[in-house]
Amino acid sequence: MKIAILLLLTCVMNTIASNSYSQTAKVTLNLKNARIEEVLNAIEIKSEYYFLLNQKQVDINRRVDVNMKNASIKDVLTNVFKNENISFNVYDRQIILTRKENIPSFVTEAQQQQRKVTGTITDANTGEQLIGVNILVEGTTHRAVTDMSGNYSIVVPNPNSVLVFTYMGYNTKKIALEGETFLNIKLSPDVTRLDEVVVVGYGTQKRSAVTAAITTLSSKDIKDMPTSNAATALQGKLPGVIVQQTSGSPGSTPAIKVRGFGSISAGTSPLIVVDGNIVSSTVFSTLTSNDIESIDVLKDASSTAIYGSRGSNGVIIVTTKRGKSGKTAVNFDAYTGYQQITKKISLLNSQQFAEFCKDGTNNAYLDKVVGANASDPNSIRPQPSLRLRYPQGDLYSWFNFDDPTKVLNMPYTDFQSAIFRVAPIHNYQLTSSGGNDKVRFLISGGYMKQDGIVKTSTLDRYMFRTNVDVNITSKLRIGLDINPTYKTQQLVNTDGHWANNGVINAALAIIPMAPLYSADGTQWSSQQELAAPYGLPGVTNPLANILERNDQSKTLSVLGNAYAEYDILKSLKYRMSGNLSYNGNRENIYQTSRMPLNQLLPPNQAKGTASSWMDISYLFNQTLSFSHSINEVHNFDALVGMEATRYYFENSSANAINFPNDIVQTLNYGTVNSGASSKTENSVVSYFGRFNYNFKGKYLVNVSIRRDGSSLFGPDNRWGTFPAASLGWRLTKEAFMKNLSFVSETKLRASYGLAGNNAFSSNYPYIGLLSPDNYVLGNQLANGLAASTLGNTKLGWEKSRQADLGIDLGFLKQRIYFIADYYRRLTTNLLLNVNVPTLTGFSSTVKNIGEMENKGWEFALNTRNLVGKFTWSTSINVSLNRNKVLALGPTGDRILSGSGVGETNVTMIGEPIGSFFGYKQLGVFKDQADLNSYPHFVDTQAGDVKYEDVNKDGKLDANDRTVIGNNQPKFTYGFTNNFTYKGFELNIVCNGIQGGKILNLSRRFIDNLEGGQNNLTTVLDRWRSPSQPGNGIEPRANSRSTGQNNAISSRWVEDGSFLRIQNITFGYQIPQSILNKARLQSGRIYISAQNLKTWSKYLGYNPEVSGYEGALTGGVDYGSYPLAKTFIVGLNLGF
């Protein structure tokens, strides 16, 4: 946060300082018989200008009288240097004084095409001459700036050059010379920030007329982030939007949340609309930054209510690029690079592990045997778990933790290096677009290959996209979009416990002296080889887990859209569109007989699985829109429409065993022993309308309503109505603001509305469902159906009521633009399971009874800090959200949820959803006196974990479990800095989270101090004795753990705060002179780094990773695929 504040202050100060040397700078001077040097010093003091001169050309000791009041600097200098043959020119804040001289011109052969272009640049509205305008010959480094009179002179390389005129607060202008040598230019003030088009539900609005909380990213905001996944380009750029890279697996989909969690049991992800198609986040992730024209995020109810039952969690509207009129352009973009692990987890080496394991075994022996001594030999120790790890049967001669020489020479295997690799990544995309006033088209194709940093994991993706727009007549327009994507993936089972062959946890848990390969060259299987003689758990070889499991996935996605628009009247337009979204997947998994399993040594039974799924959705809508203005005073636009959607899903799977060998891996080669299939479908019909009115662009009103009918609900509550309204007041249009010339925009916004949520975790919950069951018929089992759920015909929509207050502030012609919003969202009618009388035959049913609140602040600041030859712009956003559960049914019973190891999370009234649940660690019992003074478990010893007696009943038990943290951050932030100089550009994107917690379940197995598997180096600072108490957090080592040291507790909860350099891209525009020789229109080369550096206290690989990212179990890390640090070099060419 300190960094963000410092940047904010820096940006603002630079902006204010930079603006003060505008063309309107005035000074007042009253000097008598003053030296020229004194006059220039006075001007420097009274303005932001400074002078450069050669004292051999300018007599600074000459004395003059100056008496000028509120005069322009140009007039002052003209008066001071009249009759002195001195000229002055302005470059940014510099004024250069030189002697006027006639310099002969020598024209070389290379300069024969060069010529001088001159002219004057003025304000298009006022006619005022503009000082310091930048003029650039496109594709070159030739530059000039206008002088004190707005005049310019620039040498161009050829008569067909293109001049680019840029000036702070004005629109950039490009002019093709076509042989002209004198050009007067008029620049229009830049009102782009206010008049840029914002995409809203089923239409667009000018930003100046928007009264809702909508954040927009344009193509230029993400063009400097070469990413194969459009969702990652949003990170750190949008207030109120959290994008978490929860997995680094190639092709993985980030988790997206808008203004917190909106539900407990239904969906919590925003609705994503791509060119009118409602798509999943997985499909959204297949888009690249090159595909996108704009991304608009609708956050408050006044903007999302138009989407009715699907808008409660926010809406992301993605508009892809389309063809434009003009000469056909071809663009080729390619990059190649490599990826590597961002960090390694610090684990014990072989010698440290031997000492630690010996300590744990001795402590267990001393606990179990009265009168025992740590020096007792194995021969008198009663059981293997209490014995030191001496070699037995010479299985492994190095396995002796009591022989210093053997310990010193123990082998060591870096299992993290064994599973990770430096992985290449390549991406190629070719796009052609163009058209005329009748037909416009775009065709794009691409291929990406990404190898994962975990060995064998890969992604190959093929993309094709085309769209065409046709003006049939002046009133009728039609268009068609088709976007198929095909990808193949080689997947790796990285997540979960090592007992289930989770690769990450196996690499961290396996003992460090275990080999990768046995003496015969085959893969070493697991610690099960050591289990019998040494009592070790059967942690599997992570490399074998990778190589002996073949998991191939193939996915085809197709998006299609066709539309027709007809202008009934000048102000009345009818639009009809049909959309198709198809996704199909086929996955085949084969686990060889050589795969080591928990507690089992190969050969094991080979297993094969084949599964497939397919979903398809159809969407048809038609709208009638009206837009009219009465003398530009009363401005109206209205929209009415209807929409119908239908969704179908089916899946099937089969499993086989008894494969004769591992050569053929198809199911027909084994014995199919199980199979399953399912399908579901639903439909929604909707009617909606919206009305906007503004008076002189000053007072703004927006109202909308939508009515949805869904087949997911029973006849009692099939229809839901979702109204919303918002108001805006642009104070800058008021007369009392006219004198505040530095304020270019002030708009107050207020909105309130209702949206819904029908993304249930189960289908048709209002109906009692049937499931397969067996019954006895004639002394034989017969297949049949039995009721499996109790229906509730009164189920209705989850409803989200949201109020929002906002302000937009622009200063210095939008050079500084600030947006702030406060919101409160109340979600009611949450769908929850509640207990019902057992006489019904069921234990529970679903009802609308829960309530939850999200409220918070969002801030965004955009500044242009420096303009001219060197430019610097900054974007900063900060968001904070507070989530709280308000009601959980008539009894308010808490909801306990698990993450694979029992109950880890709780949802309860007064706390954030999915809070971590367990014991609260106070420290470690230092000695026997400390142990005797505080409640503890029966078998707790000195050196064990000290837990808080939460309910103060003088004993420790399950009733002392409590909330021990939650994954929801105190605030999130991001900042982007963009620098340009001549043809060079540098873009830096950073993002961070402050305050969120992580339940690191992986640590529960690699920090358990039991000695059966490797541990983190944090155990080196463990409790050893009352005189060596360690850090007060790590308990004693004990191979037979006591005191419930490894229970779910705050010991495993870590700070998830981080600051990450998300992306750095450095690019260079190839000069036009070189491009002309190559017959190219444009060219750019760049280098980029993704996930370059992360500052975090988290002990795991990545503080964003959560293997259980649902609302009830968020923030749990159980061995997820780490993120990669990526370095690429790229080339973009235009033909």
Question: Strands 162-166 and 134-137: what pairing?
Answer: antiparallel
Number of Cβ within 10 Å of residue 631's Cβ equals 7
For residue 70, the domain's CATH number is 3.55.50.30
Question: Strands 1124-1134 and 1116-1117: what pairing?
Answer: unpaired
Query: What single-letter amino acid sits at 928?
Result: Q
Count the helices and strands in the chain (H runs, E runs): 16, 54
Query: Per the domain annotation, does 141 fall within a domain?
Result: yes
Contacts of 813 (CB under 8 A, 6+ apart): 168, 169, 189, 190, 744
236's torsion region: left (phi>0), alpha (psi -120 to 50) or beta?
Answer: left
Sequence length of the chain is 1135
Query: Per the domain annotation, does 87 fall within a domain?
Result: yes
Contacts of 105 (CB under 8 A, 6+ apart): none
The four Cα atoms 893, 896, 897, 903 give a dihedral, to 10 degrees, of: -170
Q: Of all helices (H) and strands (E), which one includes residue 119?
A: strand 115-123
Question: Strands 134-137 and 143-145: what pairing?
Answer: antiparallel
Torsions phi, psi of 456, nearest 5?
75, -15
- Same domain for 26 and 86: yes
DSSP-based three-state secondary structure for 574: strand
- Give which of 682, 723, 681 is closest to 702, Cα–Cα: 723
Range 25-29, long-range pairs (CB < 8 A, 24+ positions): 25/49, 25/72, 25/73, 26/70, 26/71, 26/72, 26/73, 27/68, 27/70, 27/71, 27/73, 27/76, 28/68, 28/69, 28/70, 28/71, 29/66, 29/67, 29/68, 29/71, 29/76
Number of Cβ within 10 Å of residue 329's Cβ equals 16
| Cα separation, 279 vs 561, whole angstroms | 13
| Cα separation, 1042 vs 79, whole angstroms | 93
Query: Per the domain annotation, does 622 fall within a domain?
Result: no
**Cis peptide preceding 404, ω within 30 of 0:** no
DSSP-based three-state secondary structure for 692: strand
- Same domain for 94 and 122: no
Total tally of structural domains belonging to the chain: 2
- Same domain for 34 and 88: yes
Q: Which of 45, 66, 99 is the last residue of a domain?
A: 99
Q: Which of 72, 99, 126 is the last residue of a domain?
A: 99
Query: Per the domain annotation, does 43 fall within a domain?
Result: yes
Sign of CA dihedral 205, 208, 211, 216: positive
Q: Is 373 exposed, middle or buried (0-12, 13-18, 19+ CB in 10 A)?
A: exposed
Query: What single-letter amino acid sits at 612?
Result: S
Q: Do 433 and 328 contact (CB within 8 A), yes or no?
A: yes
User: Residue 224: its pLDDT value, please?
Assistant: 67
Query: Per the domain annotation, does 985 fall within a domain?
Result: no
- Same domain for 131 and 91: no
For residue 182, the domain's CATH number is 2.60.40.1120
Contacts of 112 (CB under 8 A, 6+ apart): none
User: Residue 927: its pLDDT value, please?
Assistant: 96
Task: Report DSSP state, residue 77.
Answer: H
Residues of the chain with pLDDT under 50: 1-23, 102-111
- Residue 934 has, within 13 A of its CA and on its CB side, a CA count of 21
Tokens of 1031: 């850090």
Q: Do 68 and 75 contact (CB within 8 A), yes or no?
A: yes
User: Residue 109: its pLDDT value, please?
Assistant: 43
- Same domain for 119 and 48: no
Query: Per the domain annotation, does 261 fall within a domain?
Result: no
- Same domain for 72 and 29: yes
| Cα separation, 80 vs 51, whole angstroms | 14
| Cα separation, 305 vs 963, whole angstroms | 35
- Give which of 506, 546, 504, 612 is closest to 248, Cα–Cα: 504
Sign of CA dihedral 1020, 1022, 1025, 1030: positive
Q: Do 995 and 242 contact (CB within 8 A), yes or no?
A: no
User: Residue 651: its pLDDT value, please?
Assistant: 96
- Give which of 174, 137, 289 is closest to 1075, Cα–Cα: 137
pTM, two decimals, is 0.82
Give the pLDDT confidence of 658-694 residue by residue, as tens digits.
Answer: 999 999 999 999 999 999 999 999 999 999 999 999 9
Q: Is 281 exposed, middle or buried (0-12, 13-18, 19+ CB in 10 A)?
A: middle
Query: Per the domain annotation, does 176 fall within a domain?
Result: yes
Cα–Cα distances (Å) from 409 to 515, 931, 986, 1014, 1017, in that order, read 14, 40, 51, 18, 20
- Give which of 995, 1006, 998, 852 is closest to 916, Cα–Cα: 998
| Cα separation, 1041 vs 1045, whole angstroms | 7
| Cα separation, 349 vs 356, whole angstroms | 10
Q: Which of 67, 99, 131 is the last residue of a domain?
A: 99
Q: Do 471 and 448 contact (CB within 8 A), yes or no?
A: no
User: Residue 756: its pLDDT value, please?
Assistant: 82
Domain around 183? 113-190
Q: Do 1063 and 988 contact (CB within 8 A), yes or no?
A: yes
Query: Per the domain annotation, does 889 fall within a domain?
Result: no
